[in-house]
Structure 1
């Protein structure tokens, strides 16, 4: 079993459980619509018991949003380093990694869109810094594939692809989808199609 597979199958810690339920509840009801007692009940402990793990809801929100930005960047760097072959293979790996996030962590996408401004300035700046570094991984890879495209166009296209992939919280209920693998394949084709427009003079 690979280290990544082992990490995926490892039993979640109590902190992990708390964060997962906090993300779900915050996404469903909004940050201010959820109390500490509700988060505690979701993981089978008392509300005050949460304070052994986190000083409060603000700390949970910060760890969720800073944490996912850090994991995306770390995962992207790993994929760039470990993927053999041409830049097209690296791009495929980056897209696959982001699709895994977009399908498996939908509440965090909603949370980021709605609650990022609630973070204290230092945490919000850290999230933005990590995100900029993640964007650069994509921009550098896409520019290798489309060297004639203007950097501004490449950057805009990468952000557009993120918007496309991060639309998963708005997709129909999972029961109506064609299955995870088919949905992932569709998102992959759409992402590549969007970036392929960079090879067309004038973008059309």
Structure 2
């Protein structure tokens, strides 16, 4: 291995380490902001949660508002891209709905803290970031609207949108009803998944 290769490997390792630390900060921030609200969290708290000093957090984020922006814009981008992908891969409208429900349940059970943060702290974003989140969310909703109308062509856009939002309300209720900001244990997760899936499909599938 040459000196250039060694330098490249060292740089790659540093970049990977920095990316991992950044993700650790984001994961810790989701839980802390969910528990305390953005106003109750300092960068020092985030550093302590991941084993670094408060000033070291500045190597990754300019301030706690930047952390919040990455959390909420990032999860909105994730929902849109993965929601689009599961629909595109589905062979039928019914399969698309089932895949969307399954995907969103995975999100709600694995990211309960982000659901709480989204509901309470979206207004803490600056105008541009808040608009970006809202735009991404609307596009995600429209994926559901299209699938619901593919299943029931007589369903109006407005009614499909109401049904989609009602579905989100139910599927996103777990962190509020359980009070948990961390993912459920496996057994409880599977029981909750089964209940949510049956409920959502019963509500969203048109009568035959």
Q: Would the TM-score normalized by the shorter structure come out above 0.5?
A: yes
Instruction: Tell me the TM-score normalised to structure 1 length.
Output: 0.87
How far is 1:171 from its partner? 2.8
In 1, the alpha carbon distance for the partners of 2:105 and 2:22 equals 25
How far is 1:75 from its partner? 0.5
- The answer (yes or no) to whether the contact 1:135–1:158 under 8 Å persists in 2 is yes
Q: Residue 57 of structure 1: which of 48, 64, 70 is its match?
A: 64
Structure 2 equivalent of residue 112 of structure 1? 118
Question: Which deviates more from structure 2 when the two are superposed, residues 173-182 or residues 86-95?
Answer: 173-182
Question: Does 2:197 correspond to 1:188?
Answer: yes
Structure 1 equivalent of residue 5 of structure 2? none
Instruction: Tell me the TM-score normalised to structure 2 length.
Output: 0.85
Runs of 4+ in 1 over 4 A off after TM superposition: 173-178
- The answer (yes or no) to whether the contact 2:116–2:176 under 8 Å persists in 1 is no
Instruction: Give the structure with higher Rg (CA).
Output: 2
Q: Deviations over 1:30-69 (max 9, x none)?
A: 1111111111010000000000000010100000000000
Q: Counterparts in 2 of 1:15-164, with a 5 A limit?
A: 15-83=22-90, 85-164=91-170
Equivalent residue pairs, number = 189
- The answer (yes or no) to whether the contact 1:143–1:151 under 8 Å persists in 2 is yes
Structure 1 equivalent of residue 4 of structure 2? none
- The answer (yes or no) to whether the contact 2:108–2:115 under 8 Å persists in 1 is yes
Q: Considering only aligned residues, what root-mean-square deviation do their CA atoms show, in Å?
A: 2.1
Structure 1 equivalent of residue 8 of structure 2? none
How far is 1:150 from its partner? 2.2
Q: Deviations over 1:125-170 (max 9, x none)?
A: 0001000110111111110111122221111000000011111112
In 1, the alpha carbon distance for the partners of 2:131 and 2:179 equals 33
In 1, the alpha carbon distance for the partners of 2:129 and 2:70 equals 9
In 1, the alpha carbon distance for the partners of 2:55 and 2:189 equals 38
For structure 2, the 5+ residue unaligned runs are 1-15
